[in-house]
Amino acid sequence: MSALAEDAVLEFARHYRFQWEPAQEAYVLLYPEGMVKLSATAGEILKRVDGASSLAAIIAELERAFPGADLRADVTQFLAHARDKGWICVR
Amino acid sequence: MSAKPNPPLWLLLELTYRCPLHCVYCSNPLDYTAYGAELATADWLRVLREARALGAAQLGFSGGEPLMRDDLEELAAEAHRLGYYSNLITSGVGLNERRIAALKAAGLDHIQVSFQDSTRELNDFLSSTRTFELKRRVARLVKQYGYPMVLNVVLHRLNIDHVAQILEMALELEADYVELANTQYYGFAYANRAELLPSREQLERAEELTRRFRSRVGERMKIYFVVPDYYANRPKACMNGWGAVFLCITADGVALPCHEARMLPGLQFPSVQSHDLRSIWYDSSAFNHYRGDQWMREPCRSCPEKGKDYGGCRCQAYLITGDAANADPVCDKSPHHARIVQAAEAAQRPQAGEAKPVLLYRDDATSRALRERAVR
């Protein structure tokens, strides 16, 4: 698993769709014949992946939304994991 | 039932039982010609809305051949508007450039194309059609239109030795995913089981070739290898449990907890023409019948794994033991497990010199003949 650069701009991989599902009270990722139900934390991070924001901007945004927490390491690690799973990619 | 069931997440619409192919392992019921008229467009649109309101997110358009319906584009558009992730599960027959463009415009998300084999000869023999070249053209069209493509090949004794060639073909056609789905023995496949069940040696060789191929191509193409449960000693967690996530609507509007459940005697599966999906999913006796574990007998009832496999498959239990409430006989704790072992043992016969098998093809005449035989 390689590291993600701070200036990497992230977007969802082709064929993956991220959306809120009220019945599951969760964000999900949808792809051909499959679905991943995301934890609340994963949902908060991934909803900021918009094809325009860099990793640094996503971290800053999350630190504004959840003040007082040091999120950098966890967010970076999760997004690298999401990249390795093929859910997101670097633009 | 104690806890409220989870909502259905997967909606499969078997839009029609009409199909230009005649596959020997078709999962449609043997007596598919016995059922009533297909639902009208307005009914399908209502089903889409009701299921989405319940929470269904993944949608499959299947059949028969779903492209036989000329309202498929209209249904795909409504599915997109409602927020489904929509999958077209097709043989490819009927998918020309005009229709694929219209489906793209409507918002269809993904297309799964089935092949019977990597060779024209066997593809055409197994489906009793000349469709191999057409399927290759369709696969190219799917990629040309920017769809993700799942290439699905049902595996059995007659084609499983071609796994390496099948994977090469999938790579050449730029499939994003390949499903090497060993035959599940229901419907026509059950009738043809003796001719279709591979030997253990064939299976192991195919698994090894798949492993090697996977490590060679890496993430470029994802490969799913669905193992045949006749060689297992624990059953599959069929449908993740009865009435747990999966909802199937047949061409004539009957709601089922799995594609095959219609064969089970003694259950009244409700029709979407007389009931709304909420009451069908949560309140109907058919959907509650095998929910949870209250219905279980031994060896399931006291089994520590009952929360993992839910007792396996009700239809397999019925087909092989005569009672759907028995444990799935794939389980080696089942007193009927010997029947699975016997079927598997019979498949160990040598293949060399085997004559071309006599198979039951899925077509209207065969279906009607089987019904008459059943009635007499």
pLDDT at site B358: 84
* Res. B1 pLDDT band, cuts 50 70 90: very low
Could you report the predicted ipTM of this complex, rounded to two decimals? 0.91
Residue B375 pLDDT more than 80? no
A17 with B176: Cβ contact below 8 A:
no
Q: Which amino acid is at B83?
A: G
Parts of chain A with a pLDDT under 70: 1
Residue B181 pLDDT more than 70? yes
SS3 A11: strand
Token pair, residue B3, equals 């806890």
What is the spatial distance between Cα B49 and Cα B41, in angstroms, rounded to a whole number? 13
Instruction: Point out the residue among A23, A28, A86 whose CB comes nearest to the CB of B7.
Output: A23
Partner A contacted by B224 (CB < 8 A): no
B57 with A28: Cβ contact below 8 A:
yes
What is the tens place of the pLDDT at every residue in B313-351?
A: 999 999 999 999 999 999 999 999 999 999 999 999 987
Break chain A down into helix, strand, coil percent, rounded to 5: 35, 25, 35
B55 with A22: Cβ contact below 8 A:
yes
Residue B218 pLDDT more than 80? yes
Token pair, residue B139, equals 């696969």
SS3 B323: coil
Average pLDDT of B112-132? 93
Token pair, residue B70, equals 């000329």
CA distance B7 to chain A (A): 7
Residue with tokens 């082709």: A14
Residue B204 pLDDT more than 90? yes
B55 with A17: Cβ contact below 8 A:
no
pLDDT at site B351: 79
**Chain A residue with Cα closest to B222:** A86
What is the tens place of the pLDDT at every residue in A34-57?
A: 999 999 999 999 999 999 999 999
Token pair, residue B24, equals 């020997």
Q: If you compute the radius of gyration of chain B from its CA atoms, what whole number of angstroms results?
A: 20
Residue B180: beta bridge partners? B153, B225
| B352 vs B185, higher pLDDT | B185
* Res. B376 pLDDT band, cuts 50 70 90: low
Instruction: Point out the residue among A19, A24, A31 whose CB comes nearest to the CB of B83.
Output: A19
* Res. B213 pLDDT band, cuts 50 70 90: very high
What is the spatial distance between Cα B319 and Cα B190, in angstroms, rounded to a whole number? 9
Instruction: Point out the residue among A15, A28, A35 whose CB comes nearest to the CB of B176.
Output: A15
* Res. B179 pLDDT band, cuts 50 70 90: very high
Which chain A residues contact residue B83 at CB under 8 A? Answer: 19
Residue B161 pLDDT more than 90? yes
CA distance B59 to chain A (A): 8
The percent of residues in chain B predicted with pLDDT above 90, rounded, is 91
Residue B282: closest CA among B29, B7, B2: B7
Q: What is the pTM of this model?
A: 0.95
Which chain A residues contact residue B9 at CB under 8 A? Answer: 23-24, 35
**Chain B residue with Cα closest to A21:** B55
**Residue B86 phi, psi dihedral angles, 5° rounding:** -105, 135
Which chain B residues contact residue A31 at CB under 8 A? Answer: 85, 110, 148
What is the spatial distance between Cα B79 and Cα B85, in angstroms, rounded to a whole number? 8
What is the tens place of the pLDDT at every residue in B270-317?
A: 999 999 999 999 999 999 999 999 999 999 999 999 999 999 999 999
**Residue A14 phi, psi dihedral angles, 5° rounding:** -55, 140
